[in-house]
Structure 1
Amino acid sequence: MPATLHRRNLLSAVGAAALGGCLDSDPPAVGDSTADLPEDCPASQGYDVEWPAEFDAETAETFVEDYEAVHYRESVVEYEPETRLDSYDLGVHSEGVQSADDGYEVEVSGNGGIYRPDLLFEAHHEDDPTDAERVAASEVADDRLRELLETAAAEGRADANVRHGPDVDRYIDLFDSHFESYDPHESRGDSRTLYFSVDGTPVEVDVMASTLHGDYWWSATYYVDDHVVYRAEEDGDPKDGTLLECRTEV
Structure 2
Amino acid sequence: MNIIITGANRGLGFELTLAAMQRGHVVMAGSRSPQEEGKLLELVSRYPGQIKPVQLDVCEEESIAQLAQALRAENQKVDAIINNAGILLGRGTALEELPIEDVVRSFEVNLFGPMMVIKHLLPLMGEGDSQSILNISSEAGSITNAYGGDFPYAISKTAINMFSKQLKRYVKDRGIRVYAIHPGWIKTDMGGERAPGDPAESANGIMDILEKKKEIDQASFFINYKGEPMPI
TM-score normalised by L of structure 2: 0.22
Question: Which of structures 1 and 2 has the bigger CA Rg?
Answer: 1
The structure with the greater share of residues assigned to helix is: 2
Higher relative contact order (CA 8 A, sep 6+): 1
